[in-house]
Amino acid sequence: MSIIDHTLMYLRESLSNYENNELSQSIYNKLVHNSYSSEADFVEDLNDKEMQYLNHILEREIHYAENVQDDLRIQQLREVYELIF
């Protein structure tokens, strides 16, 4: 499994915590049903609403990972977060 796969898997796991949200489900489904060759390819596939939503979720998830001192999770989630901007 490549680093890219790990990064998107962390993101998918984070999104599963928000399964009752339509935008979360849309993004989650993209991760499940598409094979992205990079995080950038994934981000390019997002619409504006999905990017705004993901920005909010990633801020929250990164903060949580910092609180529990999960450095690998922080790194993986930040990779996607930085691509959104």
pLDDT one-digit tens code per residue, 33-68: 998 988 899 999 999 999 999 999 999 999 999 999
Structural domains counted in the chain: 1
For residue 71, give its domain range.
3-84
pLDDT one-digit tens code per residue, 9-36: 989 999 988 888 999 999 999 999 998 9
75 to 9, 32, 38, 42, 61: CA distances (angstroms) = 13, 21, 15, 17, 11
Note the pTM of the prediction, 2 decimals: 0.84
Longest dimension (CA), the chain: 31
Which parts of 16-70 fold into alpha helices (H)?
Answer: 22-33, 39-44, 48-67
* pLDDT for position 1: 45
